[in-house]
Amino acid sequence: MPAEVRVPVSSDADVVTARAQGRTLAAQLPFSATELTLIATAISEVARNIVLYAPRGEVVLRLTREEGREGIVVTARDEGPGIEDVALALQDHFSTGQGSGLGLPGARRLMDEFELESGPSGTTVTMRKWASRRA
Amino acid sequence: MAVPILKQGPYLIASIQAAMTDSDVLQLRDDLMERVGRYRSRGIIIDVTALDVMDSFASRSLRSIAHMTRLRGAETVIVGIQPEVAFAMVQLGLNLEGVHTALDLEEGLALLSRGTEEPGDGAS
C-alpha cells in the first residue's frame, strides 16, 4: 500500500485537487464506480468546509487494512475557530452562513464512518469507507 | 478554467469540459447572465456530462443560475448528470428542485423547443 497523500487546502482549487487525489487513491481498492464518486463527493464537502471556515488546513488520504478489510481514511484538519455546536453542525440544512447546510451531514451519509472533533484551535473530520468487495 | 458558451439560435449551450472550482462555477453564472441579455436568449443548456462530482456548492450554484436566468426570461436545462453523480447527489440530500433536467444535449434541446413554442406549457 502506498504512503499517505497530503493535500494542503487553502483555496477552492485545492478542493478539486483533494477530491481528485482521493478518487485516484481509492481506485486502488475494489470500490465500485459509484463508491468512488461518493468518496470524491464527501472529500469535496469536507475540503470546502476548510476553505469556507478556516484560513488553511489539509486533507490527508490514506489506504488502510484492518481485520481483513480494506478501505480509505480521509482526514480533514483545519486551524479554524472550531465549531461551536457540533450536533447542530451535523443537522441537515443548518449553516452559520455561507454553506448549504448539507456538507457535513451529507458527507457523513456518503461514508461508512464519520467522526468530528472540534475545539478552539481547529476542527478535524475523520471519515472511512470500506471496499465492499475483497481485493 | 472558463466554460465555453456557444450560441445556437435562441439558445446558449455551456459545455463543462473538466472539473470546476467554485470560482469557475461563479464565472459561469456571470457569463450566462451577461449573454442572456446580449443575445436575448430564450433558453440555456448546461452540459455537465464531464463532471465526475456534483457537490453541494456546485448543485446549489446551478440551481441559482437556473432561477436567475429565468428571471431574465431564459429557461435553463441541466443535461448529462452521470448515474454515479445522481446517486451521490441523492445521498447527499441535494436536489435541483425547480430546475429542468434532461438526459443529454439532444433531449435538452427538445425540451427547450417544446417549452418555447408553447408558452406556459411544461415550463414550470
Cβ contact (<8 Å) for A40 and B87? no
Assess whether pLDDT exceeds 60 at residue A11. Answer: yes
Cell 451531514 identifies what position? Answer: A105
Identify the domain containing residue B26 by its residue range.
5-103
Cell 446558449 identifies what position? Answer: B12
CA–CA separation, B93 vs A72, rounded Å? 23
Cell 482526514 identifies what position? Answer: A75
Distances (CA, A) of A48 to A55, A103, B13: 12, 8, 28
- Amino acid A88 reads L
- What CATH code is carried by the domain that includes residue B78? 3.30.750.24
User: What residue ranges define each of the domains in chain A, with the CATH number in brackets?
Assistant: 5-130 (3.30.565.10)
B82 neighbourhood in chain A, CB within 8 Å: 37
Q: pLDDT at position A22, please?
A: 97
Residue B11 pairs in a beta bridge with B8, B43
- Which among A89, A75, A24 is positioned nearest to A47, based on CA atoms? A75
Contact A17, A42 (CB under 8 A): no
**A39: enclosing H helix or E strand:** helix A33-53
Q: Is residue B111 part of a domain?
A: no
Length of chain B: 124
Residue A100 at interface with chain B, using a CB cutoff of 8 Å:
yes
Contact A4, A28 (CB under 8 A): no
CA–CA separation, A69 vs A92, rounded Å? 31
Going by their DSSP bridges, the two strands A122-130 and A69-78 should be labelled as antiparallel
Q: Is residue B32 part of a domain?
A: yes
Q: pLDDT at position B54, please?
A: 94
Contact A75, A66 (CB under 8 A): no
Contact A46, A76 (CB under 8 A): yes
> What is the average pLDDT across A21-40?
96
3-state secondary structure of B19: coil
- Give the three cell numbers for residue B86: 445522481
Interface confidence: ipTM more than 0.85: yes
Cβ contact (<8 Å) for B20 and A16? yes
CA–CA separation, A52 vs B72, rounded Å? 30
pLDDT in tens, B59-103: 999 999 999 999 999 999 999 999 999 999 999 888 888 899 999
Which of B1, B54, B56, B59 to mutate against chain A (most A CBs within 10 Å)?
B56
Assess whether pLDDT exceeds 90 at residue B117. Answer: no
Assess whether pLDDT exceeds 60 at residue B119. Answer: no
Residue A105 at interface with chain B, using a CB cutoff of 8 Å:
yes
- Which among B58, B57, B102, B94 is positioned nearest to B78, based on CA atoms? B102
